[in-house]
Each structure stands twice: as structure tokens, then as C-alpha cells.
Amino acid sequence: MNFKNLREYLAWLYYQYLLITGIYVLEPWEKSIFNSILFSAIAMVVYTSYVFVPIHVRLALEFFSGIFGGQHSTMKH
């Protein structure tokens, strides 16, 4: 496929998305329902990961550094 510009390419990508999910055949209001549900789901996933992942990562780091750090110190003795 050859595209003249990015817009055309994005339009084509959106078309692929319509075809693969099957919402190509739906009526416009159904399409918007599907899109809003999908995008709000994605947005929530992104938001939760933004909020919670750093905390979990920090906790995990502390936990593991506690174990390994602790072992480290016991080995030194």
C-alpha cells in the first residue's frame, strides 16, 4: 500500500480497525457506543497503571532490595 500522507494512512488504519472488530457494519450510533466503551476502558487502564504502577514498582523494589540487601548484609558478617 502506498499512502500520500499520514492522514491517509491513519484513515486506513481506522478502516482496518473497523473491519477487524466488525463494527464496520454497525450504524453510526452503535459505532460511537463501541468506540466510547473501548476508549474509556483503555483510558481507565492507562490511568490506573499511571497511578498504581509506580507505587507497586517502588514497593516491589523495596521488598526485593530488602531481601537481597538483607542477605547481603548477613553474608558480610
27 is a site residue for other proteins (CB under 8 A): yes
Residues 62 and 26: their CA atoms lie apart, in Å, by: 50
What one-character-per-residue DSSP string does 51-66 give? HHHHHHHHHHHHHHHH
9 is a site residue for other proteins (CB under 8 A): yes
**Cβ atoms of residues 12 and 1 within 8 Å:** yes
Minimum CB distance to other proteins, residue 35 (Å): 12
| Interface residue with other proteins, options 25, 51, 55, 75 (CB under 8 A) | 25
Q: Which residues bind other proteins (CB under 8 A)?
A: 1-3, 9, 12-13, 15-16, 18-27, 30, 34
